[in-house]
Amino acid sequence: MKVVVDFDLCESNAVCMGIAPEVFEVRDDDMLYVLDEHPDAALHDRVREAVSRCPKQAISLED
Amino acid sequence: MSEPKQIVIVGASLAGLQAAQTLRRASFEGSIVLIGDEPHFPYDRPPLSKQFLAGAWEEEKLRLRAAVNPSELGLDWMLGVAATGLDLDLRTVALGDGRTVTYDGLILACGAHARSLADHPPGVFTLRGLDDARALRSALDTGPARVCVIGAGFIGAEVAATARERGLDVTMIEAAAAPLVRVLDAGAGLAIAELHRRHGVDVRLGVGVNEVQAGADGRVERVLLADGSAVEADVVVVGIGVVPNTGWLEGSGVSIDNGVVCDSTCLAAPNVVACGDVARWNNPRYGRLTRVEQWDNAVDQGAYVARRLLEEGGVDPEPFAPVPWFWSDQYDRKIQLAGVTGPNAEVVNGSLDEQRFVQLYADDSGRFVGALAWNRPRQAIQARQLLEQEAGLDEARAALGG
Ligand SMILES: Cc1cc2nc3c(=O)[nH]c(=O)nc-3n(C[C@H](O)[C@H](O)[C@H](O)COP(=O)(O)OP(=O)(O)OC[C@H]3O[C@@H](n4cnc5c(N)ncnc54)[C@H](O)[C@@H]3O)c2cc1C
Ligand code: SF4
């Protein structure tokens, strides 16, 4: 699984960080950082949850 | 329920599609029939008052991700046809074209429609769906001299902001003393009024609308207010709330009262669950019937009811007890509310005047119940987590102050 964020869509509202802080972090500069582009299998469910809960549909997954 | 074979979902939008996707993720292999009265594949509504209305996005960008490839989830799509009746004994849903579909499990995800004025001339718009948005966008494209927004709820306020950013002359009228009184406290509502005034919107508060009048050409020309004044307008947008789409369920035996009334697990009748804007369930966190008209709730509850249906045979399903959360974008402000407002409000970060702040809410007993954040997105999500953990006010102050 590869995590891809479309930064043109992302509005740094940190929803994804709330769900999977190991993978997503919004810092003080109000920018989103992807901490782990290839998260472990144990995180996949939460990353998928972040994909559907991202209000801007900014996160996608590649194989 | 022992292994449902066919699950029917009424409402092919955010909550319904999320439910369908969750069923497939939970390895449900039976058939899923998705019934939607709009002819369109499911699309996202929030951009309708924002990027789409601004002219920045085209329609292709609105499609919900899970519907970009409609065959992917193996759904039986029935679009452009309405559900018109429900028979709980026979477990059937009647359709507008005369067909009926049988279900083992039924998910009601039929949302809500915009309330409008009883009768009005052409040039008066509401905004709920893509067709509304297309019509309103074309009207704004003609460069009307004056736009009048009736009702300063979220939709009205966002339309006012977008129209203003398109360089149009905008008046926003609200009968209550402050915008957004249904969701925010008066102080925060007035901050919204101030935000709009700083951007040049003529905001009129505490005054109702008596009549929308047409000119000689039959099209809308002016809005008459209760205080005797008049607002000239070529385009009028009415944003006075929504009504749950429950008309087709009248007499079915499902309890209807400002939405489909459900228990704390979103069950409305045997094998029937409801989610999204149409569902009014008993949220144990607040101990009262709640209907939430917010994007994140539709996604969360859509997923919850799908699992609920599949596990129904199991013992005591966990109730659906989320902390609500929503956002609204107006101009360059990101407004987010986690939880609910309360009688005691306290700014702990930034200030209302800077229009960048975090305000905490406590109820009468001093319990931390919500946080409003303007351009403080991280704190809004943190606040939501603190609320989920039932953190106290001191803890919230320490974590969110700055
Ligand atoms: C312009 C706009 C902007 C918004 N912005 C925000 C925002 O910034 N933040 C936020 O949190 N929320 C926002 N929302 C709210 C959010 O979009 C809704 O909460 C969400 O769409 C609810 O999803 P739903 O699936 O429950 O209902 P809906 O999206 O209303 O979908 C219900 C579907 O069911 C269909 N239907 C109804 N009756 C029948 C029937 N009898 N048979 C078949 N189909 C039927 C309807 O036509 C519709 O397609 C906005 C809403 C609008 C309209
Ligand atoms: S949830 Fe979506 S919009 Fe929000 S920070 Fe994450 S990627 Fe960006």
Residues B332-348: pLDDT tens digits? 999 999 999 999 999 99
Q: Which ligand is nearest to the CA of B39?
A: 1
pLDDT of residue B2: 60
Interface contact A26, partner B, CB < 8 A = yes
Rounded to whole angstroms, the Cα distance separating B168 from B357 reads 29
User: Least CA distance to A59: which residue of chain B?
Assistant: B65
Residues of chain A with pLDDT under 50: none
Considering only CB atoms, B299 lies closest to which of A11, A12, A52, namely A52
Residue B1 pLDDT exceeds 60? no
Assigned fold of B332-400 = Enolase-like; domain 1 (3.30.390)
Rounded to whole angstroms, the Cα distance separating B199 from B330 reads 10
Considering only CB atoms, B65 lies closest to which of A14, A26, A57, namely A57
* Cβ pair A14:B329 closer than 8 A: no
pLDDT of residue B182: 86
Pocket of ligand 2 (CB under 6 A): A 5, 10-16, 24, 26, 32, 54, 56, 58-59
Tens digit of each residue's pLDDT (9 = 90 or more) over B157-183 = 999 999 999 999 999 999 999 999 889
Size of interface A-B (CB pairs under 8 A): 46
Determine the average pLDDT of the residues in B145-166: 97
Contacts of B25 in chain A (CB under 8 A): 48
Determine the average pLDDT of the residues in B261-290: 96
Q: Could you tell me the pLDDT band of residue B313, with boundaries at 50, 70 and 90?
A: low
Rounded to whole angstroms, the Cα distance separating B185 from A35 reads 37
Q: Which ligand is nearest to the CA of B334?
A: 1
Q: Could you tell me the pLDDT band of residue B315, with boundaries at 50, 70 and 90?
A: low
Provide the mean pLDDT of chain B.
95
The shortest C-alpha distance from B381 to chain A (Å) reads: 6
* Cβ pair B327:A17 closer than 8 A: no
CATH code given to domain B116-238: 3.50.50.60
pLDDT of residue B314: 60
Interface contact A18, partner B, CB < 8 A = yes
CA-to-CA dists, residue B391 to A14, B134, B288, B335, B361, angstroms? 20, 44, 21, 22, 13
E-only strand ranges, A1-63: 2-5, 24-26, 32-34, 59-62
Ligand 1 centroid to residue B243 C-alpha, Å: 11
Tens digit of each residue's pLDDT (9 = 90 or more) over B85-136 = 999 999 999 999 999 999 999 999 999 999 999 888 999 999 999 999 999 9
Q: Which of B374, B381, B389 to mutate to test the interface with A (most CBs of A within 10 A)?
A: B381
Assigned fold of A2-62 = Alpha-Beta Plaits (3.30.70)
Q: Could you tell me the pLDDT band of residue B402, with boundaries at 50, 70 and 90?
A: confident
Determine the average pLDDT of the residues in B217-227: 96
Give, as one character, the DSSP assignment of residue B80.
S
* Cβ pair A15:B378 closer than 8 A: no
Determine the average pLDDT of the residues in B11-19: 98
Rounded to whole angstroms, the Cα distance separating A36 from A24 reads 8
**Every domain range in chain B assigned CATH 3.50.50.60:** 6-113+242-311, 116-238
The shortest C-alpha distance from B209 to chain A (Å) reads: 34
Whether B79 contacts B40, CB under 8 Å:
yes
Whether B357 contacts B347, CB under 8 Å:
yes
Q: Does the beta carbon of B223 lie inside 6 Å of ligand 1?
A: no
Q: Which CATH number applies to B6-113+242-311: 3.50.50.60, 3.40.50.1860, 2.40.50.140, 3.40.605.10?
A: 3.50.50.60
User: Least CA distance to A25: which residue of chain B?
Assistant: B378
Torsion sign over Cα B179, B184, B188, B191: negative
Contacts of B44 in chain A (CB under 8 A): 57
Lowest mean per-residue pLDDT among B80-84, B263-267, B310-314, B350-354:
B310-314
User: Least CA distance to B15: which residue of chain A?
Assistant: A52
Could you give the ipTM of this predicted complex? 0.89
Tens digit of each residue's pLDDT (9 = 90 or more) over B240-265 = 999 999 999 999 999 999 999 999 99
Residue among B231, B299, B310, B321 at smallest CA distance from B271: B310
